[in-house]
Amino acid sequence: MRFTWHHRLYLTISFCLLLSACKQSGGKAYDLVLRQLYSHNVDTISVVQVQQQLKQGIAPLLLDTRSKDEYEVSHLPEARYVGYKDFDLSDLKDVPSNTHIVVYCAVGYRSEKIGDKLKEAGYTNVHNLHGGLFEWVNQGLPVYDEQGQTTKVHGYTRAWGIWLREGEKVYD
């Protein structure tokens, strides 16, 4: 049986709620959820790999695919907002097709969909940040808002927010 994205989303949300009820959240459980959630059409890149690249001066173009409200609460350093529902490929006309791009959202689901669109448009070096912004923050790395570094992180929803173990959760 082939699962559609609707099936995967339903199963993932059910699993998240079950884990939340059992008060279990952590690396292995989170990785299991992500494996089920992702379609695996876009290669992932770990937070550690991105950090290594940044330290080596190999700065990928970081594209934030969350809502504008989420982005304004906090985002990765030097990240460019592109959105999800309002994503417009023409906003990237200044980006060469061979640019190293890392897309991210809260956990990696929405960003993977945008990564698919970028690949379909001819971008050849696109990666999805494994675990998304939540994993970045959970590993103790900084996020920023318009004033500078912040501890605030948009938790997306309370069900998804269980995976955010660090930072100050903010909800709409």
pLDDT tens, residue by residue, 76-124: 999 999 999 999 999 999 999 999 999 999 999 999 999 999 999 999 9
Tell me the backbone φ, ψ of residue 89, rounded to 5 degrees. Answer: -55, -30
65 belongs to a structural domain: yes
30 belongs to a structural domain: no
What CATH number has the domain bearing residue 140? 3.40.250.10
% of the chain at pLDDT higher than 90: 76
3-state secondary structure of 104: strand
Distance between CA 69 and CA 106 in Å, rounded? 12
pTM of the shown model: 0.84
Instruction: Give Cβ neighbours of residue 81 (< 8 Å, ≥ 6 apart).
Output: 64, 68, 71, 75
34 belongs to a structural domain: no
Note down the domain range covering 123: 41-170
5 belongs to a structural domain: no
130 belongs to a structural domain: yes
Distance between CA 38 and CA 113 in Å, rounded? 9
Query: How many helices and strands (H and E) does the chain possess?
Result: 7, 9
CB-based contact 53:60 (threshold 8 Å): yes
Instruction: Give the chain's residues under pLDDT 70.
Output: 1-26
Strand partners, 144: 75, 149
Q: How many domains does the chain have?
A: 1
Residues in the chain: 172
CB-based contact 35:114 (threshold 8 Å): no
31 belongs to a structural domain: no
93 belongs to a structural domain: yes
68 belongs to a structural domain: yes
| Structure confidence at residue 127 (pLDDT) | 98
| Structure confidence at residue 25 (pLDDT) | 42
